[in-house]
Structures are given as C-alpha cells and as structure tokens.
Amino acid sequence: MQHVRAHVLICAGTGCTASGAAKVEAALREELAKKGLDKEIMVVETGCHGFCEMGPLVIVYPEGTFYVRVQPEDVPELVESHLYKGRIVQRLLYKEPVTHESIPNYNELSFYKKQMRMVLANCGHINPEIIEEYIAVGGYEALGKALTTMTPEQVVDEMKKSGLRGRGGGGFPTGMKWDFTRKAAGDKKYVVCNADEGDPGAFMDRSVLEGDPHRVIEGMAVCGYAIGADEGYIYVRAEYPLAIKRLRIAIKQAEDLGLLGENIFGSGFNFRLKIKEGAGAFVCGEETALLASIEGKRGMPRPRPPFPAISGLWGKPTNINNVETFANVPQIITKGADWYAGIGTEKSKGTKVFALTGRINHTGLAEVPMGITMREIIFDIGGGIPGGKKFKAVQIGGPSGGCLPTELLDLPIDYDSLIQAGAMMGSGGLVVMDETTCMVDLAKFFLTFTQAESCGKCTPCREGTKRMLEILTRITEGEGKETDIALLESMAKNIKTSALCGLGQTAPNPVLSTLRYFRDEYEAHIKEKRCPAGACAKLAGYQITDACKGCGLCTKTCPVAAISGEIKSRHAIDQSVCIKCGACMTKCPFKAIIKG
Ligand SMILES: Cc1cc2nc3c(=O)[nH]c(=O)nc-3n(C[C@H](O)[C@H](O)[C@H](O)COP(=O)(O)O)c2cc1C
Ligand code: SF4
Ligand code: SF4
Ligand code: SF4
Ligand code: FES
C-alpha cells in the first residue's frame, strides 16, 4: 500500500480559482514530481474555506499549516523548505491585521476561532468531486438511517423538533413546511432547492454547492422521502458554473452508487434529481417566480395562497427550501433533533453562515451559532475595520434587510431580534460600513438594485420604488425638499403593505432603517446641503479645520483661488468658488483639510 506522508490541500473554490489556484496546483504537481515526492505527498483539490480574500489558499497536513496568497513562483520554496526539510515558510503565513503576528495553524486564526462550522464542516476539507470522501466523513448515513429506520412521519417530526428555520430569508419553520407538503393531496410531489442566491454580496450557497454538493443532495433526498416525492429540482443561477459542474458530477456519482434512483437502500423509495439553470434575475429567487421559471415560463411571482406546498410545480404539492436549509438536514437526522436544538437561541436554532463584505479586514464566509453578537462577528471574526477607521453600521439581509448602528453591536443575532431592530436575517449578507459611508447613498444603492430587479407586475413596486429612488437621488444631489422624509416614509409603508411579492414588500427596508437610525444624515443633506460622510459627489465639500496653522500652502495650490486667510491664522474655503478638486487636502502638511 502506498504510504502518504503529507496532504497538500489546494482550495479550488471560485475565489481561489479566480486568484490563480489552478496554476499553483500545476506548479506544485510539477515540482513534487521533479523532486520525486509525488508518491508520498498527495495534492487534494477542495472547496472554499470561506477566506477567499486570502486566496489562493494552500494547507499542509498533518500540521495544518495555513498558507495564503500562494503564487506559482512560491512553489519551489514551499516544496523544498516545508515538504522536503520540514521548515515552515514564514513569509507565506497569514498575519493578523491588528497584531501583525504570523499564524501558522489553521485553527489558531482569529477568523476561524469563534466559528462553529457545521454546514461548512466539509468545505475545504474533502474533495467535492469524489463521493467516497463524503461517505468517509459520514455522508449518506442520514439517508440510510431515515430510509431504513424511520417512517416519513418520524422524519418530519424530527425536523419539527430540531427547530430548523429556512435559511433563504423568511425563517419559516422547515419541519412545518415539510408537514404541509406531506399532508397535501396529490399523487405526484416535488422537492425544489432554491440556489438562485441573488443578494448582492452573498455567496454561501455557492460555496456549499461547490465544496460539499452531496450534503445538499442528501438533504433533498431525505426531504423527498419525508414528503412522498420522487423527483427534485435544483434551481441554480447560470453564473455559478463551478457549482453546476460539481452538482452534475455529484448527482451522477450518487446515481452510480444507488444513492439516487430506484429503490434506494432497498427501501422501495425512488428519488431523482435534475438541475435547472436560472438566468440570474433576483426576482426568480422568489419561490413562485422560481417555480414558473422551472416550468419554462417567465419568472414572475403570483399571489399566494395557494402556497407551493399545496400547488407548486405544475400544480403539484412542492416543498421548496434554500441550499443551506437542506445542508442542515443530514446532521439533524444523524445526530438528532435534541442535539441540534441545543445550539442557538430559544427561537432560532443551529448556526447561520454569513458573508462578510464591505469595510472589514476579513472578508469571507463565517458560520456562527445563532445568538452571537454582531460585535463578535465583525471584530473577533472579521478582524475589525481597516485603516483605523470607525465602525458606522452594518447592513444585514441584503437589499431586503436593514442596517444596524453601533448601539446595536451587542444585540444577539437571531431571526426575531433582527426583525425587532428593523432589519432581517435574509440570506446572511453582511455589508460593513465605516465613517466614510453615506447612509442616504447606501439606501439609494440598495433601492437602485431592487428597482432594477422589480419584475413590473404590480404598480406599488414598479412605480413606487422608482419614485422613492428619484427622491433619494435628489437628496444626495442637494435638491432635497423639507417634505421628502415624510414622503419617503409614507411611500415606504404603502409599498410594503400593497406589493404583491417579497421583493416589493421589503424593498423600502433599507430606507426605513437608515431613516430610523441615521435621520440626522438625511436632514444634513436636505437642510444644510451637506453630506456628513463626504461621500455624495455633488455635496462633497472641503473644510479647513482647527488644525490649520496658517502656513498658506493651500492658497498657492488652489487652482481657482478659493482659499483665503492671513499667514499664521486659520484659512477658509469659499464654497461658491471651490471646484472640489481636492488638491489642497493633498498638499496640507498638517492634515487640516477634510472632506465633508
Ligand atoms: C425577491 C426574492 C428573492 C429571493 N431569493 C431567494 C434566493 O436567492 N434563495 C433562497 O433560498 N430564497 C430566496 N427567496 C425566498 C424564497 O421565496 C423562499 O422563501 C425560500 O426559498 C424558502 O426556503 P427556506 O424555507 O429554506 O428559506 C427570495 C424571496 C424573494 C421575495
Ligand atoms: S412586488 Fe415587484 S417584483 Fe414582486 S410582483 Fe410586484 S412588481 Fe414584481
Ligand atoms: S495648507 Fe493646511 S495648515 Fe496650511 S493654511 Fe492651508 S489648511 Fe492651513
Ligand atoms: S478643493 Fe480644489 S478648488 Fe477647492 S479649495 Fe481645495 S484646491 Fe481649491
Ligand atoms: S474560494 Fe478559496 S477560500 Fe473561498
């Protein structure tokens, strides 16, 4: 038998692939062969570790040494020093942003320490294109257990007891949804996995599908057994080619081993899966629009009821869940509902995967137990705000969500606490803002997105979001009227209550939450024609502060003679003359000129 002395894991997720992982892998294989080490050192391609910003990532086991931003030209040193002589290559280690300390071991990185990786447990650790690797870590045990030792009713009861709630945004109890579909009348039923993932910045579903596709397939098969469905669809956006490729490979491998198809585990249960590629419209993530799209129709929502559980795909009872929801199922069945219900808060059980983006040191995917605070996510896991800037707010839940200000950093995160705070879990996108972000501009950014993605079927969303966007635009351009805030609030309330689907019903959320916590910024734009963050181009002005020493350098620099002042006394800018070129700010030796 071949003796393997070390494993070198190369992340082959989308992020690391984009930063050149394939070239690093080719160089590594070549170098190992050249040195005659290719028989004793195994190179393994894995899925995403969630730390994509630091890619390409290379991890060497058994030590668990974590190398970041590895390039092909680093490979000869890595092989010679670490794999040949056993000496860690210090310069390729990750350095903590605050302490600048080099961290050699995977588990010691602050990014991973507070995480609880359950859904992501296999991502980055197994080869997602080899079903045996999934089976070796307990894969398909849940399906075997459900089919051979549990009745469909028992599976549904276990799911209900676990307290799992849908991870696609709404947080509806999963077991209850399965129960509705199981009890619905119909000879034919379907299971659908929602992998449309349209929220800007969210990529947890993509990572799970790329890094551990069998987990989702297994969760769907368990659901099929529980509700009495023999067919399922995975609706994935076409912009996820790697996820689609790995799903196709995984489905084929599961079929070849009899884990999908006819008479699975000799139980008489049949289950087949198909992939449907979506064209990337945000509204197609809405469940009724998604079902229409699978049927080959235009992806437009329809009124509910009837809910898909009663009348879904081709009018048949259909259970639709998100990728992360299905990925939770196998562990609930194998480890039990009580174990799962022991994690999280009273009403939100288990973990949630968040996508950290924006002004944060560690961008990436973090899986944390429900009930953790935003401070722990942003500062302990995310490494805080770069460039010594101050935290201002975090937008949670993407365009349907809302922002949380500094005062709410210690709020324990769960479905209900977020709703109370005027935000929502959504799919788990977290966009962190620092003092340079204008909150009016942020609301405009998200509304621009939802407005463009509105399908146009109902007037409140189609016309209302457009009118709200016009108001926000004029406020950020210094044309805001005193009545605009009240107008925005009343329009937001009307759209929320009268729009047909979740897109319109939630589109005003970013405006309402920024108005709730940052009303003074709206007022500064409208009344003082000033953007306090200095972000709105048409309002941005340069100001001379008390730090001015009166050296006069800026006066000589200004191309339009907008600055005046006596030597050794504070200077001032004439805003009516200033053309906002920023030259004075760059020149001032005392950093006395600021934007805002
Ligand atoms: C505009 C809009 C977009 C949505 N996009 C997604 C999506 O990309 N992925 C998803 O799982 N759910 C999305 N949803 C929620 C789905 O309609 C549905 O509630 C969800 O797939 C149910 O799964 P769950 O119970 O596991 O959360 C979206 C809803 C709306 C209104
Ligand atoms: S709320 Fe918006 S996206 Fe939803 S049906 Fe109406 S127009 Fe379409
Ligand atoms: S360059 Fe700076 S310190 Fe000198 S006069 Fe201008 S603002 Fe004041
Ligand atoms: S921003 Fe440009 S135009 Fe305005 S005061 Fe400074 S140098 Fe002059
Ligand atoms: S793609 Fe490599 S860490 Fe995410």
Interval between CA 592 and ligand 3 midpoint (Å): 6
SS in 3 state form for 184-248? CCCCCCEEEEEECCCCCCCCHHHHHHHHCHHHHHHHHHHHHHHHCCCEEEEEEECCCHHHHHHHH
CB 21 within 8 A of CB 12: yes
Interval between CA 234 and ligand 1 midpoint (Å): 13
CB atoms within 10 A of CB 42: 15
**Residue 376: pLDDT over 50:** yes
Q: What is the DSSP string of 70-135?
A: --GGGHHHIIIIIIIT----GGGBEE-TTT--EE-BGGGSHHHHT---STTTTTTTS-TT-HHHHH
Q: Which amino acid is at 74?
A: D
Kindly report the protein residue whose alpha carbon is nearest to atom 18 of ligand 1: 287
Q: What is the pLDDT averaged over residues 280-299?
A: 96
Nearest CA-CA partner of 540 in 494, 495, 593, 490: 593
pLDDT band at 475 (very low <50, low <70, confident <90, very high): very high
DSSP class of 145: H
pLDDT number for residue 541: 79
- At 399-410, the pLDDT tens digits run 989 999 999 999
pLDDT number for residue 595: 80
- At 77-99, the pLDDT tens digits run 999 999 989 999 999 999 987 78
- Whether 550 lines ligand 3, by a CB cut-off of 6 Å, is yes
pLDDT band at 2 (very low <50, low <70, confident <90, very high): low
- Whether 169 lines ligand 1, by a CB cut-off of 6 Å, is yes
Beta strand pairing call for 231-237 and 269-278:
parallel
DSSP class of 412: B
Interval between CA 537 and ligand 4 midpoint (Å): 14
Chain mean pLDDT for the chain: 95
- At 266-280, the pLDDT tens digits run 999 999 999 999 988
CB 525 within 8 A of CB 440: yes
Q: Give the CA distances from residue 405 to residues 156, 169, 317, 323, 442, in Å, rounded to whole numbers and listed in that order.
A: 39, 21, 42, 30, 13
Kindly report the protein residue whose alpha carbon is nearest to atom 6 of ligand 2: 458
SS in 3 state form for 6-29? EEEEEECCHHHHHCCHHHHHHHHH
**Cα separation of 524 and 6, whole Å?**
61
CB atoms within 10 A of CB 43: 15
Does 152 sit behind a cis peptide bond, omega within 30 degrees of 0 on the bond before it?
no
**Residue 250: pLDDT over 90:** yes
**Cα separation of 329 and 218, whole Å?**
8
Pocket probe for ligand 5: among 10, 46, 57, the residue whose CB has the most ligand atoms within 8 Å is 57
Q: Which amino acid is at 32?
A: L
Contacts of 283 by beta carbon, 8 Å cutoff, 6+ apart: 289, 299, 300, 301, 453, 454, 455, 501, 503
pLDDT number for residue 107: 82
- Among positive and negative, which fits the CA dihedral 81, 84, 88, 94? positive
- Residue 517 phi/psi, 5-degree rounding, is -105, -20
pLDDT number for residue 580: 84
Owner of token pair 């939630």: 506
How far is C-alpha 467 from the geometric centre of its chain's CA atoms?
Answer: 29
Contacts of 248 by beta carbon, 8 Å cutoff, 6+ apart: 275
Nearest CA-CA partner of 155 in 217, 230, 219, 234: 219
Tokens representing 571 are 């200077």
**Residue 551: pLDDT over 60:** yes
DSSP class of 434: E
**Cα separation of 67 and 58, whole Å?**
5
- Whether 339 lines ligand 3, by a CB cut-off of 6 Å, is no
pLDDT band at 1 (very low <50, low <70, confident <90, very high): very low
Kindly report the protein residue whose alpha carbon is nearest to atom 8 of ligand 2: 455
Nearest CA-CA partner of 543 in 556, 553, 534, 551: 534
- Residue 60 phi/psi, 5-degree rounding, is -105, 125
Tokens representing 383 are 């490494």
Interval between CA 586 and ligand 3 midpoint (Å): 11
Helix, coil or strand: residue 550: coil
Interval between CA 457 and ligand 2 midpoint (Å): 5
**Cα separation of 104 and 119, whole Å?**
25
- Angle subtended by helix axes 519-527 and 509-517, to nearest 10: 90
pLDDT number for residue 537: 82
pLDDT number for residue 472: 98
Helices (H) and strands (E) in the chain, counts: 24, 20
**Residue 169: pLDDT over 90:** no
Helix, strand, coil percent values for the chain (each to nearest 5): 45, 15, 40
Range scoring the smallest mean pLDDT among 90-94, 101-105, 374-378, 567-571: 101-105
Interval between CA 577 and ligand 4 midpoint (Å): 8
pLDDT number for residue 355: 96
- At 506-545, the pLDDT tens digits run 999 999 999 999 999 999 999 988 898 988 988 877 889 9
Nearest CA-CA partner of 90 in 98, 64, 101, 76: 101
**Residue 67: pLDDT over 90:** yes
**Closest atom of ligand 5 relative to the 15 alpha carbon:** 1
Interval between CA 587 and ligand 3 midpoint (Å): 8
DSSP class of 488: H
Question: Based on the number of CB atoms within 10 Å of its own CB, is 343 exposed (0-12), middle (13-18) or buried (19 or more)?
Answer: middle
- At 21-61, the pLDDT tens digits run 999 999 999 999 999 999 999 999 999 999 998 999 999 99
Helix, coil or strand: residue 561: coil
**Closest atom of ligand 1 relative to the 506 alpha carbon:** 31
For 385-532, where are the E strands, in sequence order? 391-396, 402-405, 429-434
State percent of the chain over pLDDT 70: 100
